[in-house]
Amino acid sequence: MRKKVLITYNLFREGFVELEKEFDLIFPPEKVFTQEELSMQIGDCDALLPMFNLTVNRKLIDAGKKLKIIANYGVGYNNIDVGYATQKGIAVTNTPDPVIEPTAELAFSLMAAVARRIPECDRKLREGAIKWGVLENLGTGLYGKTLGIIGMGRIGQAIARRAVASGMKVTYHNRNRLDAQTEQRYDSTYLSFNDLLQTSDYISLNMPLTEDTFHLIGENELNRMKKSAILINTARGAVIDEKALVRSLASGHLGGAGLDVYEHEPDITPQLLTMDNVVLSPHNGTATIDGRNAMSRYAAENITRFFRGEKLLSRIN
């Protein structure tokens, strides 16, 4: 009898061609399953493929009587009660590899968009409110500036590669310092957390959300940054105290921010919506057609390998 895989979002089928050869796939009839529909469906399923924004709590895990693997669609897994899944003998995987390049692309795009005021100028041109002139609409450049990367994992390193190509100086802070060869590859300098905050023109956040990183950037940290600094967050919203960020931007202390994630998404602090020095993106870091299909194939491969008894591409627990 073929095993069943419950997929919580109506994703492109292209990424599941191989998985469908061995498993019965259950997609939502509309865009996404509700929690109630999931609870009704999951009892008969062997694998769950949830989106990164779906809460997989004890109640849902308990409802999965036959559940053996949760193959998360996303690199972050703070949406899953991993400890409880482990306790129940359920494997938990994620999709780290496919998210690297698209997330780095978006982080760098946000940085350039804030620095050069691209969305603001675009809007004012469309509204007929733009002021023309040599000293109007001035932004700041990337070349020769210092980018401080907090979280120098694979996404951080992909951002560093783009920064080096743009003539930026790269500094970083990481839980563990990188080896000398990797530092040399990105011509990067390791700094303490405090030194990075104080010396960077741009700061990019690229870490998972944990108890240690919750509100990693708060009022004290924002006050240590350069007055002109631009903060980029493509990690998780709650690594920044969003209210403190709004105060720092409104006071003119911080030069600007590029945000793809929010502390209480999909809700966004209303003041952020009115600020010209803020560029907002709807948790879009991995949102390319290629990226979505690659994530599907990666999650599907984890499921296939698990039931074949083969080594998984990635495993959280």
Based on the residue annotation, tell me whether 154 is a catalytic residue of this protein. no
Considering the candidates 117, 162, 173, 236, report the single residue annotated as catalytic: 236
Based on the residue annotation, tell me whether 116 is a catalytic residue of this protein. no
- Residue 139 CA to residue 114 CA, distance in Å, equals 8
Cα distances (Å, whole numbers) of residue 262 to 13, 235, 246, 281 = 29, 9, 12, 10
Express the helix, strand and coil content of the chain in percent, nearest 5 each.
40, 15, 45
Spatial CB neighbours of 132, under 8 Å, sequence gap ≥ 6: none
Considering the candidates 117, 162, 173, 283, report the single residue annotated as catalytic: 283
Cis amide prior to 98 (ω within 30 degrees): no
Considering the candidates 247, 265, 305, 315, report the single residue annotated as catalytic: 265
- Residue 86 CA to residue 277 CA, distance in Å, equals 44
**In the numeric block, which tokens belong to residue 72?**
């998360």
Ranges assigned E (strand) in the chain: 4-7, 24-26, 47-49, 69-71, 91-93, 146-150, 169-173, 188-190, 202-205, 230-233, 256-259, 278-280
Spatial CB neighbours of 312, under 8 Å, sequence gap ≥ 6: 91, 93, 302, 305, 306
Based on the residue annotation, tell me whether 265 is a catalytic residue of this protein. yes
Neighbours of 278 (CB within 10 A): 22
The residue type at 149: I
CA 308 to chain centre: 30
Spatial CB neighbours of 126, under 8 Å, sequence gap ≥ 6: none
Query: What are the residue numbers of the active site?
Result: 236, 265, 283
